[in-house]
Chain A
Amino acid sequence: MKAVEVRDLVKDYGNFRAINGISFEVNEGEVFGLIGPNGAGKTTALRTIATLIQITSGSINVFDYELPGEAREVRKIISYLPEEAGAYKNLTGKDYLNFIAKFFGDGKKSRDMVRKGVEIANLGERINDKVDTYSKGMTRRLLVGRALMVNPRLAILDEPTSGLDVVNAQEVRRIINNAVEGGTAVLLSSHNMLEVELLCHRIALINDGKIIASGTAEELKKEYHAGNIEEAFVKAIK
């Protein structure tokens, strides 16, 4: 079963076409990266799959659930981490994880999720402090913990290491890899080409709302006679 199947997806905002007929698949247990510059359509693509915005045409299936008709079923098995997400500032980190966990299960199931979230966030005693007092890196780790603690079948991560320093970014990548080993499929976007090369099994290069190339990092480098993905991307859009 495919984790995600996107066919001829089109998304218009008024007269502006943000996504222009893209198609791709994400396999179970796979990390699939959408890479491209700002405004290429990465976030819009992720938002449509995360059930946040409606599609203009085309089709999206998540573990055989069709969008938008089965959005409620899809929300039970996905977890979405927006690029600039925040948490409720007047809650403590742990209260925030509790709040989220209760949507996915009661009692022990919920407590286990929170325990896992606390472990992933790795904030020590600060987990009991209000989110308002967290640094950007701490908030991002809390949010990654929130996204992955619910054991999603598909994690949709928009720029997961955006704005983080090297140490925190590396930690987040390690957490994502652990989740994948646990069976979670990951669909992520990034304009950090190095990160994508390190994390993703397969990559799609997106520009002006269209996928211009896709494959493994090695395949893309070979196709465009490039030393790295960044170089391959530049050659691909020319």
Chain B
Amino acid sequence: MIGNIVKKEFKELFTIATLIPIIVIAVVFGLVGQTIGNIGERMEEKPVVGVVDMDDGDFSDIAMAVLMERGEIIYDGNDTEEGLEEVREGNGVALLVIPVDFSQNIYTDNPGEIEVYWMMKGAGMMDSISSGVVEGLIQAVNQGISAKLIQEDGSFDPALVLAPTKRVETTFFKGKEIKGLSASQLSNILSSQSIVIPIVVMMLIIMAGASVISSMGMEKENKTLETLLTLPVKRSHIVIGKMVGSALVGMIMAAIYMFGFSRYMSSFQISNINLADFGLTLGMQDYLLIGVTLFTALLAGLSLCIVLGTFAKNYRSAQTLIFPITALAMISMFLTIFKDFDTIPAVLRIFVFAIPFSHPMMAMRALMMDNYSLVIGGIAYTAVFMVIMIVVAVRIFNSDRLLTGTVQKPTRGKLLWGLRR
């Protein structure tokens, strides 16, 4: 008896329609994972750095020995500018400059300065792994010098023995020169500041998308759709009305969710660094662009949802159709949090750009780095995407598909007429 029921349930639930989205998402997640790469392997790789030793003293020799052993040196000379150029061209992580009085300072109980010029490539969490490895390298230099100080005669200041060097850091990122911040610090601040937006966008898309798809499912289940379609109102108005109504519901639900989430996130706030002090700030125009990109992405997402919603037979099937939207929103969110748009492979970059939800997730970081072309291009793309989806939705609303599941092939004349209706 139970077996009979299990068999029936399995046949009801395990269909091609439920299987395909899962397979597609599994493949996409697999590709994303492969692209992001193996953290362990990257941690063990020797960091690519350049070195300028202008001291040539006892302690700089120790530093050089450690760097040569643990790092992959692509520049070893005396010219900082030349070194920067070499590291930039060689896709290196940083240029370490040991100034003339490095050893002398340490001998006189002052920490030796190491100038570190970071070449930051992306602001995603995964992008800061290589700079973390270089920081480990500098730590190893410190340990080597500490060991030498202890071996010498033990008269050195214990504070100096524990921290024999200090770093003077400059980070180059997307054409900007940021003095006083390391790549890791900058990446951490940017990540923590831009982590909230992807999550807000994801929740907004999921909540509003679920509303619009469910609305289509309920229209069919409650048998209200036929009446709606015979009312004297343009099909495009029905589509837009459903989108805007769902967007409002989604925004309210996302706002409630985010109220709790922001309280949760604030408990992890550890950085006291103000990015505005380093010239990384957003103006009114930037906030306006973020608003526009969020609005267009939301409408583009909802227009996609309404097209998907036309395939819903009832409320239950509508719930299944929400899954691809949720998956796309999550992929966008993970990619924008963990990787920078500029540091992912070209194929994945096209994929991320093609998902309308990605754009508001990337906008804040892009605007901070004055990358207006990405943001404005994203707005243009999502607007075009939205218009295409609305036209498709109106076409479906004009066809038999909505009520009968079949489509009568339109003639060229009927195609144009259908859009006017």
Residues of A within 8 A of B (CB): 12-14, 47, 50-54, 56, 68-69, 71-72, 75-76, 78-82, 84-89, 100, 103-104, 143, 146
Contacts and interface: CB of A to CB of B under 8 A. Distances in A.
Instruction: Classify chain B's interface size.
Output: 20 to 34
A82 B408 contact: no
B233 A103 contact: yes
Contacts, number: 67
10 contacts: A13-B400, A47-B403, A54-B399, A54-B414, A75-B233, A78-B230, A80-B227, A85-B224, A88-B222, A89-B222
A76 B232 contact: yes
Given A14-B406, A53-B403, A68-B414, A103 B231 contact: yes
Nearest to B408: A54
B217 to A, nearest CB: 13
A85 B227 contact: yes
A215 B88 CA distance: 91
B353 to A, nearest CB: 37
A50 B233 contact: no
Given A53-B403, A80-B226, A84-B223, 14 more contacts: A13-B406, A14-B406, A52-B226, A52-B229, A52-B403, A53-B400, A53-B408, A82-B223, A82-B227, A85-B227, A87-B224, A88-B222, A89-B222, A100-B231
A80 B227 CA distance: 7
A52 B408 CA distance: 12
Classify the interface of chain B: helix, strand, loop or mixed: loop
Given A82-B227, A86-B222, A88-B224, A13 B404 contact: yes
A54 B400 contact: yes
Nearest to A96: B224
B42 interface: no
Contacts of B233: 75, 103
A84 B227 CA distance: 11
A143 B224 CA distance: 10
B229 A71 contact: no
B417 A68 contact: yes
B316 interface: no
Contact of A52 (B224, B230, B410, B421): B230
Contact of A85 (B223, B404, B414): B223
B100 to A, nearest CB: 78
Interface of B: 222-224, 226-227, 229-234, 399-400, 403-404, 406, 408, 410, 414, 417, 421
B11 to A, nearest CB: 25
B223 A69 contact: no
B162 to A, nearest CB: 68
B188 to A, nearest CB: 47
Contacts of B222: 86-89
Contacts of B224: 85-88
Contacts of B421: 71-72
Nearest to B234: A72
A228 to B, nearest CB: 32
B226 A82 contact: yes
Nearest 9 A-B pairs (CB), nearest first? A86-B223, A86-B222, A80-B230, A75-B232, A82-B226, A76-B232, A103-B231, A53-B400, A54-B408
A12 B400 CA distance: 11
Nearest to A84: B223
B227 A69 contact: no
A138 to B, nearest CB: 15
